[in-house]
Copies of this chain bind each other. A is one copy, B any other.
Amino acid sequence: MSSTLDDVARLAGVSPATVSRALRGLPRVSEVTRARVVQVADELGYVISPSGSRLASGRTHTVGVVVPYVNRWFFGQVITGVESVLRAAGFDLLLYNLGGDAGRDRFFAEMPLRRRVDAVMVLSLPIGDAEAEAFRALRVPIGLVGSAVEGFAGVRIDDVAGATAAMRHLTHLGHREIALISGGADVPMHFTPPIDRRGAYLDVLDSVGVEYTPDLEAAGDFTMAGGEQAMGELLGRSRRPTAVFAQSDEMAFGAMRTIRRAGLRVPEDISVVGFDDHDMADLLDLTTVRQPVVEQGATAATMLLDWLASGEPPAEPAKVLPTRLIVRGSSAPLAGDPETSRHHAPRPEA
């Protein structure tokens, strides 16, 4: 049906070997021969057969991309970055969507990437020792977005700096009763972003002499619904916060909604700060920490391709990209009017 390398060879009057070399731009082919081969290939509409090439060379020119949820904003953005780099380099992108714990377990049980990719890109997945081992067993370069593991290439942001900026912003505005909506409680220790962001929360609180209390923390699972619910819990407790720092914008969106449903105002009654700079953050006027999401994907993919090309793991295996606080309307100075904002939540210190 479609022509093969042999067809091209015959018509060009050279051996298949030469065609292979000519078409791939390898050296040791004279320019005149190469031109002839290319022309014949064009005329025949020849397209290399990946199966044949893969079998012979052992290289798939494919990168597996493992993502927790394709349908979440963050991952869509990262994939966009990854895809553009891979595509430009002529690599195929094999997508694996875990979609929750069941899918995740199945993935690690079967490791469906075996024998089908040259490298793997893992997006924002908590990687424990077992998972790291499973990936290492593939014996291909592994790239990570959002975490760092010994022996893998990783790109992430400075979560501590980002969260610190968010928290400082709130303390500068006078807030002391600051709640935290964190990620899932079940997230393994190895996933640093939630831990780092929480650590920054604690540190900044400490730096202004406020003691941490579990009453001001709730888990939101990094989803809007989770944020909504977490905020509900927070409002149901004895101490009402004057500000909330959510570890992601989606959770912040949910929180804002709960706040408003409770008849309170943002930011007058409660300031809200998120993390990500989600597309909708601007629309919802959410103060947040912007992180370069597409770039993280693109950078990680580039590192991975370099590794693949050179055979050497990157010299600097853990790149850290900067974040930036974006101040919008969801955060405001601690209200001057005690009747409104501190009614149910007397601050311990001045």
Q: Evaluate contact between B51 and A60: CB separation under 8 angstroms.
A: yes
Q: Evaluate contact between B224 and A279: CB separation under 8 angstroms.
A: yes
In the assembled complex, which residues on chain B have CB atoms less than 8 Å from the CB atom of A79? 70-71, 95, 97
In the assembled complex, which residues on chain B have CB atoms less than 8 Å from the CB atom of A73? 71, 73, 76
In the assembled complex, which residues on chain B have CB atoms less than 8 Å from the CB atom of A139? 1
Q: Evaluate contact between A80 and B55: CB separation under 8 angstroms.
A: no
Q: A71: which of B47, B50, B76 is its contact (CB, 8 Å)?
A: B76
In the assembled complex, which residues on chain B have CB atoms less than 8 Å from the CB atom of A96? 87, 93
CB of A49 within 8 Å of the partner chain: yes
Q: Evaluate contact between B60 and A70: CB separation under 8 angstroms.
A: no
CB of A208 within 8 Å of the partner chain: no
Near B by CB (< 8 A), chain A positions 60-84 give 60, 65, 69-73, 75-77, 79-80, 83-84
Q: Evaluate contact between B49 and A51: CB separation under 8 angstroms.
A: no
Near B by CB (< 8 A), chain A positions 209-235 give 224
Could you tell me the distance in whole angstroms from the C-beta of A64 to the nearest C-beta in chain B?
Answer: 9
Q: Evaluate contact between B83 and A47: CB separation under 8 angstroms.
A: no
Q: Encode A32-58 as 1/0 by CB contact (under 8 A) with B.
A: 000000000000000111111011000
Smallest CB gap from A55: residue in B: B51
Q: Evaluate contact between B80 and A50: CB separation under 8 angstroms.
A: no
In the assembled complex, which residues on chain B have CB atoms less than 8 Å from the CB atom of A294? 71
CB of A254 within 8 Å of the partner chain: yes
In the assembled complex, which residues on chain B have CB atoms less than 8 Å from the CB atom of A7? none
Measured CA separation A109–B33 after assembly (Å): 26
Smallest CB gap from A92: residue in B: B94
Q: Evaluate contact between B283 and A50: CB separation under 8 angstroms.
A: no
Measured CA separation A54–B56 after assembly (Å): 12
In the assembled complex, which residues on chain B have CB atoms less than 8 Å from the CB atom of A253? 280, 283
Q: Evaluate contact between B97 and A80: CB separation under 8 angstroms.
A: yes
CB of A346 within 8 Å of the partner chain: no
Measured CA separation A93–B83 after assembly (Å): 14
In the assembled complex, which residues on chain B have CB atoms less than 8 Å from the CB atom of A310? none
Q: Evaluate contact between A116 and B50: CB separation under 8 angstroms.
A: yes
Could you tell me the distance in whole angstroms from the C-beta of A22 to the nearest C-beta in chain B?
Answer: 19
In the assembled complex, which residues on chain B have CB atoms less than 8 Å from the CB atom of A84? 97, 99
Could you tell me the distance in whole angstroms from the C-beta of A286 to the nearest C-beta in chain B?
Answer: 12
Smallest CB gap from A285: residue in B: B257
CB of A343 within 8 Å of the partner chain: no
In the assembled complex, which residues on chain B have CB atoms less than 8 Å from the CB atom of A69? 80
Q: Encode A282-300 as 1/0 by CB contact (under 8 A) with B.
A: 0100000000001000000
CB of A30 within 8 Å of the partner chain: no
Q: Evaluate contact between A83 and B60: CB separation under 8 angstroms.
A: no
Besides A71-B73, A254-B283, 14 more A-B contacts (Cβ < 8 Å) are A48-B115, A50-B116, A51-B51, A52-B55, A54-B55, A70-B76, A71-B76, A71-B77, A80-B97, A83-B99, A92-B94, A93-B95, A94-B95, A253-B283
A interface, CB within 8 angstroms of B? 1-2, 47-52, 54-55, 60, 65, 69-73, 75-77, 79-80, 83-84, 87, 92-97, 99, 114-116, 139, 224, 253-254, 257, 279-280, 283, 294
Closest 10 pairs (CB-CB, A-B):
A71-B76, A51-B54, A51-B55, A83-B97, A95-B95, A71-B80, A47-B114, A93-B95, A76-B76, A70-B79
